Structure 1
Amino acid sequence: MIQAPQTTFNRRDIHQQVTDTIIQQLEKGVIPWQKPWNGAENRLMALPKNLTTGKKYRGVNILLLWTSAFNNEFLTDEWGSFLQWQDKKEAVRKGEKGTMIVYFDTLEKEEDGELKKIPFLKQSVVFNRCQLASYDSAAENPNLLNDTSLVERIEQVDKFVTNTSAVIENLGFGAFYDRDDDKITMPYKEAFNNTEHCTATEGYYSALLHELTHWTGNSKRIDRKFGDNVYATEELVAELGAAFMCAEFGINVAEKSNTAAYIDYWLNVLKDNKHCLLTAASEASKAVDFLQGLQPT
């Protein structure tokens, strides 16, 4: 019988483990939701998916798997547990380390004569296809990287946004969502310039998808509400929602004008609130699901 590779995680708070993983990336100057690529800087990784179900991972698991792919230079978006790969007659290479993902399970507990289901966070371990003994990077062509040159107008994204019926005005030089007026304001397209890391077109659309994520939180839609740290959590939801959609459309997320200050800000937020990241990532996936639900079948 083949034994699974040894993967050890200590028993400390899973929320803290997940948050620490992302904090380590930020402290290295890497923003996991801003640069989800591998290898050459203009090549994008797709959203990670499970090899057995074919479903794309959601919420904070996207960030955990993007981070692992970035650090280990994995070139595929396909992940599975040791047993899932074994079922496919594949073997994980000896010495390979798995990547932690998290999910919610329920615990049944009797209270006042009633059986109640209590949700709690669990962790699991997955491996990328690149970690298989059979994987040959020179022979395989994952076809996961996007080399398409972006033009002024990205018709696929325009249709996606139009189908939401969100009210969008191009006015001035600021991008924001007004919750009271339920309206998105975007800068004139002429205000966006090409940078070292993305084109003006990518900058425009990543900003638009950021504001569109904010738009989903209105009481007419998802009615997104938070307790403490409302502003920071909502901003992170918009950052992640834009990053998830940009990955789907093959768009680079525009780099912030002051990356060091930007990273420092998020480090302080995450260190102060270990729940912020998981909450924001989960809500970002819900926002993307909502927007996708507004598209024609």
Structure 2
Amino acid sequence: MNKIGIITKSQKELYFVVAEDKEYKCKARGVFRDKNIKPLVGDKVKIQVLDDDNAYIEEVFDRKNFLIRPSIANIDQILLVSSLASPKLNYTILDKYLLMLEHFSIDVKIIINKIELASQEKIDKFKDIYEKTPYDFYFTSASDGQGIKEVEELLKNKISAFAGPSGVGKSSLLNLFSEDFNAETGNISKKTLRGKHTTRHVELFQLDSNSFIFDTPGFTAIDLSFIEDYKEVKEYFRDFDEFKNSCKFSDCSHINEPSCAVKKAVEDNLISRNRYENYIYISKEIQDKRRY
């Protein structure tokens, strides 16, 4: 008997597939090795059921998208979780995450967790920066429930992934959405003021028949190695899009050129100066790395 399902977890050569609300332990046919295809968590697959618990993966359907680190497929949206306090927000790191996810053309929602610990000054600063971007953002508290209902609505009928630095409360949020998660939570290291990493493998949790969440350890790392030229960076800052075609030069890098509409938008407070300065920093960082 054949069924259509989704891979929710993999352990070496064993894949766990949920099909028709039942989980099967599956092995992949040798044909996948011959074609150099490795099934990924999130893949939609056709399985041949052998008995009540075991099956073979017969076919991996075309992917909407996929990431290498972590190795996941078919992501509808990324919930990029950060905090303004404990640990404090590193705006450069946040913009690097956004840049990376723009490259993979995955919809991003920014979640600012532990909002109960943040001062109004920090909240206002964040709003001032990201209200000028195309990104939706939400303030949440896993401890007192603030904003949780709004995030639950975001998750409906989607395959979502949680990403962001360690210690910002991703596991605490996951535990609120389903008692099945039991995601291990970590405390903040007093020495480094950063989180202790707790998630050890990629897993896709099922909220209901059509809603899933990845828990992804690899998303604590940022890899911008796909950028071969620093001039590519401007393509991933979407807040520049409205202005870049008005620059004097069609190949304007928005850094040193005269008559740059993006720089004027920064002066006019239409683009956040914080975001623009991070753009310059990231561009220079990539330029320096490529130089050596």
Structure 1 and Structure 2 fold alike (TM over 0.5): no
Q: Report the structure, 1 or 2, having the larger helix content.
A: 1
Structure having the higher Rg: 2
User: Which TM-score applies when normalising by structure 1?
Assistant: 0.25
Q: Which has the higher strand share?
A: 2
